[in-house]
Amino acid sequence: MIRVRARGEDVRRFILEHLEKHPGDLSKVTAEHFGITRQAVNKHLQRLTLEHAILESGKTRNRIYKLAPLLEWREHYEITPELAEDRVWRDNISKTLGEMPDNVLNIWQYGFTEMFNNAIDHSSGKSIYVSISKTAITTEILIRDDGVGIFKKIQTALNLLDERHAILELAKGKLTTDPKRHTGEGIFFSSRMFNEFDILSGGLFFSHKFSDKHDWLLERDRFQSGTAVWMKLNNHTSRTAAKVFGHYTSGDDFGFTKTVVPVDLARYGNENLISRSQAKRLLARIELFKMVIFDFENVPTIGQAFADEIFRVFALSHPDIEIYETHSNSEVKRMIARARSGGSSNNEAIPT
């Protein structure tokens, strides 16, 4: 009987952990994984529904499941000189999140306080809206302000080409419009701590998912005023803030010395990366790091001038910076190799 009960708990845990990816074929996926019938799976689904852990809609083959919220919380804050992110965290957010593993709470404290402080200091808005949604598996927090918009703010402050360029700079890290009060590390590290991290501002949507470790940029027809930041984290992740910091820092002072540059963000639409001007935009502020990894995921081809500017010209003029590339296809590899053949040996494929 104990073995049967334990197996049932395993089945229900599997259902909860895989529901978001398989809302329409959850019975089939679960049955195949455990080697049981769909009728047996349906009994577990019914139990989870009665326990209010999941919600169901539709009938028979069109039935859809989703995680039921354990709590829904929301609040508005007026931006005043007295508003402080640590006080909001202590008085409202941590109490609302409730009991969680220490490593999970540490990640939430870092991410929330960094993003809430950004809204206070940089948005030029009048108010901040916060909402929390918690299920049996994950927690999501939304922070939205009514300010000028983060991408527009960065574009204007740094005189960048457009808002898309601002996103590219954010993805590199060490970007701030107020260097006296901020290091520019908050968004970079927050985006890499959470399962999902999204920013919507203006007509642009920036997204980083921990599962694929890539940055995505989408354009929207509908304009979104202000800035909205979504953060989502598994309630029982083994990830720690210290491990994420350690991946990008080094030395006795744990300096932020390593960055991954998503090359695809330098493209506009379906254009190819062929010119030195494009490469120079990609190389902006790279001298702030000791190790730079250019990620060529979703980049089908690059031009000779583009490759030469990065892997020969820049590498020769910055011999103290380690330059690597990753996720490049065969065509991109050939172009990089051609540039390297006339350059130094401090740039190569990312070490495994």
* CB 124, CB 144: distance < 8 Å: no
* CB 11, CB 30: distance < 8 Å: yes
Residue 190 to residues 107, 131, 171, 234: CA-CA distances in angstroms? 8, 18, 11, 14
Question: φ, ψ for residue 71 (rounded to 5)?
Answer: -155, 150
Alpha helices in 173-273 (DSSP H): 186-193, 241-248
Residue of 3, 125, 135 lying closest to 70 (CA atoms): 135
- Please state, in angstroms and rounded to a whole number, the distance separating the CA atoms of residues 313 and 305: 10
Strands (E), the chain: 54-57, 64-67, 71-78, 127-134, 138-145, 196-209, 214-234, 249-250, 255-256, 258-262, 291-295, 322-326, 347-349
Per-residue pLDDT of the chain (352 residues; tens, 9 = 90+): 344 456 777 888 888 888 888 888 888 888 898 889 888 888 888 888 887 788 888 776 677 888 888 899 999 999 999 999 999 999 999 999 998 999 999 999 999 999 999 999 889 999 999 999 999 889 999 999 999 998 888 888 888 877 888 888 888 876 665 655 555 678 888 988 999 999 999 888 888 888 766 667 776 666 678 999 999 999 989 999 999 888 887 655 556 788 889 899 888 777 899 999 999 989 988 898 999 999 999 899 999 999 999 999 999 999 999 999 999 999 999 999 999 987 544 555 555 4
DSSP state of 21: T
